[in-house]
Chains A and B, each alone.
Chain A
């Protein structure tokens, strides 16, 4: 039994290491990537990562990189963004390509692992010599590849809303800056639901930074933060948190939980007998695709804040949703990051056409002021910080798992990643 026991303690040590790092999900699954990436590679085999050293614009094609997690915990979200980017590339190619050349996607799997992201970014920039990269989802993965893009003067189009406080000259941020999602959402909630807010998030960069912003804003709006809780990634039991929420009696919950945790939280929230009528929640990480995995019955009536919903009423969106479903199946849904990934490809193509070259510096220079009639409405690149002017929308999740808009800004909001136009936010960016 002694031997057995030694092994048992070894297991415990390994187990604890996983768990304490807060990445039991990621760590376990990152290795499982190989077969998924093999699948993707075979799908895009013509794009040929084998012929790696060919120069970028040889012949009639321009190579563009796509770098998302196609395996591991983040594959849930990122696979669809990749699909949308490939759809945009296909559409552009069918319409004659860019500068008369066809686009050739090189798809790489970041495997939900930041080191892999960095490695693959290097491969795309140095071996494949791609003209640009569309990719990343988590802020951690973006921060991991940022130095690579800066030192090699690459170009990254980042499709997801994020916590702001960043503007790299080599990244275009197509998702929302905080003032295009979080800040207007808190304003809306404090006007319509009340002044007492409970902050709930997963324990990593985005929720903590977002909540720093919310706390400053709450102070300025005369609101009261009655609770602030962070749970490790992969946390499965929310009963204690729900007890704390019931005790704190907030007017609404600002939810920045990510991934599987949302499923556990909302199921258990409903089990505890809580409804959005009693305590409303506002989530910034739950889009249509996540709704399907959580179950619409648990989420009906809860609020979200984004720039785009599948139900957004524009002619461009009708076309986009139809094309996406025709390509990938009727049961697929579109959502904000998917749409942003799609927009990113078009924005880059427009910038290249305007610059008349795929040279990164020329494209960057040409990009400022470029407009695109996106599914969410007209978005414009802000040349100063390389973020987008975007409309902001608050939506209510309905019984069918789609999100109905309940409020929106009249026009596209100017991006302000450092919140420099808000007096209460002074001091945030230095943190």
Chain B
């Protein structure tokens, strides 16, 4: 029983990490239709931002305030990655709307450039980020059932981000503009929406969310130039399974893959678990080619 609960928590935790990493992609890929292979590299940018912030706190500020670096790191990683996303959109992505295959190739190239850039700046070895002390240890419920604070914290961040994105999309003017542009660009433009500004800000928000995910990932995983490549496959899978274009779909996609993968891994092995979850995804997509939550549009584009 204990073990079951522990595994259930692990599954939820993996899902929350996936969701956090995929939320940005749900916006850039799901809503905007840009196949952004560099999404993983925005995660990496966020992770390195956290590393730099941590070093700054270590070096210039008293040890007593060190723990508060995580708040600064979370904010800055969002802003830095968002800013990088903004530049990328202005320079390159804006020329690629509606050209999915091209955007795939171009963003893949960008991801390689960013990886090599990180390697040149920070060196190829992994770097270490210390988690703030209040995230050490775990919430002990019983002998084996211990919920690490880091994972609970990441879960919390994922939920906050999700609510934030939801609020942005459905409760603000900006969100309404974004949805309008994504549904029918020409119509939105003719109604006076500045589409290129909406594009840029949406892409920046998506990239910023990736950066935020990167910051959270520093506490549980490796931080190196190729960090993003470890997550890119799973994040795309999350968005595709959930249904491109649907934020709530990404939640289900993340849950499906996270819980499914941990369960399969527990019953078999890590490699086999991965294979089985892929098989499930393939079968699922046979029956629901647009993902669990398909977005119905009246668009005539195809």
Contacts and interface: CB of A to CB of B under 8 A. Distances in A.
Given A2-B302, A12-B236, A271-B151, A32 B115 contact: yes
A260 B224 contact: yes
Interface residues of A, number: 63
Interface in A133-153: none
B266 interface: yes
B127 to A, nearest CB: 7
B278 interface: yes
Interface in A238-256: 239-241, 243-244, 246-247
Nearest to A260: B222
B229 A28 contact: yes
A203 interface: yes
Interface stretch (B3-11, B87-95, B198-206): B3-11
B144 A230 contact: no
A29 interface: yes
Contacts of A246: 144
B10 A243 contact: yes
A243 B232 contact: no
B283 to A, nearest CB: 13
Interface stretch (B61-69, B75-83, B164-172, B268-276): B268-276
B233 interface: yes
A5 to B, nearest CB: 6
A4 B33 contact: yes
A239 B111 CA distance: 29
Contacts, number: 190
Contacts of B254: none
Interface stretch (A17-25, A102-110, A359-367): A17-25
A9 B285 contact: yes
**Residue in A16, A247, A264 with the greatest tally of chain B CB atoms within 10 Å:** A16
Using C-beta atoms within 8 Å of the partner chain, give the interface range for chain B.
35 or more
B221 A267 contact: yes
A243 B11 CA distance: 12
B233 A16 contact: yes
A293 B17 contact: no
A229 interface: yes
Interface of B: 3, 6-7, 10, 13-14, 17, 33, 35, 100-101, 104, 111-113, 115-116, 119, 124-130, 136-138, 140, 144, 146, 148, 150-151, 219-227, 229-233, 236-237, 240, 244-245, 262, 265-266, 269-271, 273-275, 278, 281, 285, 289-290, 295, 297, 299, 301-302
25 contacts: A1-B301, A3-B301, A4-B244, A10-B101, A15-B236, A25-B226, A28-B112, A29-B115, A29-B226, A32-B119, A76-B224, A203-B270, A230-B271, A239-B13, A247-B144, A261-B222, A263-B126, A263-B223, A264-B222, A267-B221, A271-B150, A273-B137, A273-B138, A292-B126, A297-B130
Interface of A: 1-5, 7-12, 15-16, 18-20, 22, 24-25, 28-29, 31-32, 35-36, 71, 73, 75-76, 79, 203, 229-232, 234-237, 239-241, 243-244, 246-247, 260-264, 267-268, 270-273, 289, 292-295, 297
Given A12-B236, A271-B150, 5 more contacts: A28-B115, A76-B124, A79-B124, A260-B221, A271-B151
